């Protein structure tokens, strides 16, 4: 991998990352970040967690795709988006049997959509996703 590094998820990692994400609010707070316990469970259940400067990516090995869950800390993550996606494609080809790569982004998250486009993903379809009991309109991006 060129810009991403695999992270060993442990309680210390969860604590450090939780400090950074706990105040994010918005859609993240009703999804992976609703509570520290949910956040911890999501990280520990991930197929893999990767990091670059100001970017953490949680990969979920779903039935139909390898789902990418990025957490970007500021605009510098955009500089690493294409390289990060290249690393994910390389990793997918080695470990995840060439599953399609997807990222499901709530429609109100304009910055996340721009990040997906900067990473070379394309809009695929619309869907509604349940985030902690809240129905949220989303767009699926694929690579």
Q: Average pLDDT for residues 68-91, to the nearest whole number?
A: 91
Domain boundaries, the chain: 5-103
Strand 101-106 relative to strand 66-72: parallel, antiparallel, unpaired?
Answer: parallel
Number of alpha helices (DSSP H) and beta strands (DSSP E) in the chain: 5, 7
What confidence category does residue 97 fall into, taking pLDDT thresholds of 50, 70 and 90? confident
As beta bridge partners, residue 6 has 50
* pTM as predicted: 0.90
**Best CA proximity match to 70, nearest among 120, 105, 94, 108:** 105
Please provide the size of the chain in residues: 143
Which two structure tokens, joined as six digits, stand for 97?
């049997």
């Amino acid at each position: 991998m060129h810009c991403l590094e695999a992270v060993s998820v442990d309680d210390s990692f969860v604590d450090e990352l939780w400090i950074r994400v706990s105040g994010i609010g918005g859609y993240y707070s009703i999804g992976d970040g609703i509570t520290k316990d949910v956040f911890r469970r999501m990280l520990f259940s991930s197929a893999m967690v990767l990091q670059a400067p100001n970017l953490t990516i949680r990969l979920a090995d779903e039935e139909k795709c390898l789902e990418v869950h990025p957490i970007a800390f500021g605009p510098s993550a955009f500089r690493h988006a294409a390289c990060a996606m290249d690393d994910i494609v390389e990793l997918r080809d080695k470990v995840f049997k060439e599953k399609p790569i997807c990222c499901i982004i709530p429609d109100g998250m304009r910055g996340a959509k721009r990040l997906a486009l900067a990473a070379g993903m394309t809009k695929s379809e619309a869907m509604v996703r349940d985030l902690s009991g809240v129905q949220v309109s989303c767009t699926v991006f694929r690579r």
